[in-house]
Homo-oligomer: A and B are copies of this chain.
Amino acid sequence: MTDSTTQAVYSYLGPAGTFTEDALRQVDPEHLGRWQPVTSVVQAIDDVATGRSTHAVIPIENSIEGGVSATLDALATMPGVRILGERLVPITFHLLARPGTTLSEVRHLTTHPMSYPQCRTWLAGHLPEHDFLPAPSNAAAAASALHDQNIDAAIAGERVLDHYDLEVLARDIGDNRNAVTRFVLLGPDRGLPAPTGADKTSLIAELPVDEAGALLRLLEQFSTRGINMTRIESRPIGDELGRYRFNIDLEGHALDARVAEALRGVHRFSPNVVFLGSYPRATREACEPMPHQTNDDYKDAAQWYEALLQ
């Protein structure tokens, strides 16, 4: 046995210095695995699906800007991976510039397009005249602020200061001090983490085309079994206007009887359903089943039914 065969390899949405690195730091705090920055979520997912990496860490949802479209669309269409866990990273933005720059000199500003609108209020108050140039990542924005003479400042998180020799012109300029991004840890689609009593189940379901009230009927698959839905997000399927798939997070684990029955119900109803996994929720908050919906209730009902057939 060699270390190299067993060492975890984490593909993560890089470059180094992004908030994704913060999430990975939560996953592998002692840096025992190999960290592999990649340039897209598609690349990260493909690494896991093909076995080049054992895991991937990618952002899935921001509390201000919503679902990460690239992630949601890639998970809907790329088989071979499963969510093993989630991590929450508080998002704090700083205004960064080359040493010696003053706030009044800032005119040309860069950052990632999902970061920019999160600082709208501060920018309107302090830099009403700035120009905005989108950057592929906050770390790339920091690099531009350091090296590109046309750029005066970047918005990015604390972490980039480990990698780029920039000064903080203004701290914590985000509009919402509670902003947080949710990241998922992916692995290959084999097996399921054991239930912990505080789990979530994620899936993506397409609606049948020709059914009136199709979304209502999809949601009834959960409500009839007393299952609470913690997130629902629509994304266009892409073939024509008006066709959506829905990204759904549920409380409970696929091995819970009520979730199992709901998943089978969704499979019957939906022309296309992707099971993304069951995993411990980041908050560790326990999920109490509603009355009549415990595993014992399901077991009793199954035994009662079997006895009818004798």
Interface residues of A (CB under 8 A from B): 61-66, 69-70, 73, 88, 113, 117, 132-136, 176, 178, 180, 182, 190-192, 212-213, 215-216, 219-221, 223-224, 228-236, 238-242, 244, 254-255, 260-261, 263-265, 267-269, 275, 292-293, 297-298, 300-302, 304-305, 308-310
A117 CA to B235 CA, complexed, in Å: 14
A132 CA to B48 CA, complexed, in Å: 23
Q: Classify the secondary structure of A's interface with B.
A: mixed
The answer to whether B260 and A305 touch across the interface, beta carbons within 8 angstroms, is yes
The answer to whether A238 and B134 touch across the interface, beta carbons within 8 angstroms, is no
B-chain residues with CB within 8 Å of residue A66 when the two chains form the complex = 69, 234-236
B-chain residues with CB within 8 Å of residue A192 when the two chains form the complex = 308-309
Closest beta carbon of chain B to A301's beta carbon, Å? 4
Question: Number of copies of this chain in the oligomer?
Answer: 4
Given contacts A178-B240, A191-B310, A220-B224, 9 further A-B contacts (CB under 8 A): A63-B238, A65-B236, A66-B236, A113-B113, A134-B134, A182-B241, A224-B265, A231-B244, A232-B244
Contacting residue for A220 out of B216, B244, B254, B275, CB 8 A: B216
The answer to whether B62 and A236 touch across the interface, beta carbons within 8 angstroms, is yes
A264 CA to B260 CA, complexed, in Å: 14
Closest beta carbon of chain B to A158's beta carbon, Å? 20
Which chain B residue has the least Cβ–Cβ distance from A275? B308
Question: 5 closest A-B pairs (Cβ-Cβ)?
Answer: A264-B301, A134-B134, A267-B301, A268-B292, A66-B236
B-chain residues with CB within 8 Å of residue A64 when the two chains form the complex = 236, 238
Closest beta carbon of chain B to A230's beta carbon, Å? 6
A235 CA to B234 CA, complexed, in Å: 9
B-chain residues with CB within 8 Å of residue A221 when the two chains form the complex = 224
28 chain-A/chain-B pairs, Cβ below 8 angstroms: A61-B236, A63-B241, A66-B234, A73-B117, A113-B113, A113-B134, A134-B134, A176-B239, A182-B241, A191-B309, A213-B219, A213-B223, A215-B219, A216-B216, A219-B219, A220-B224, A230-B242, A233-B244, A234-B234, A254-B305, A254-B308, A254-B309, A261-B261, A264-B298, A264-B301, A264-B302, A268-B292, A268-B300
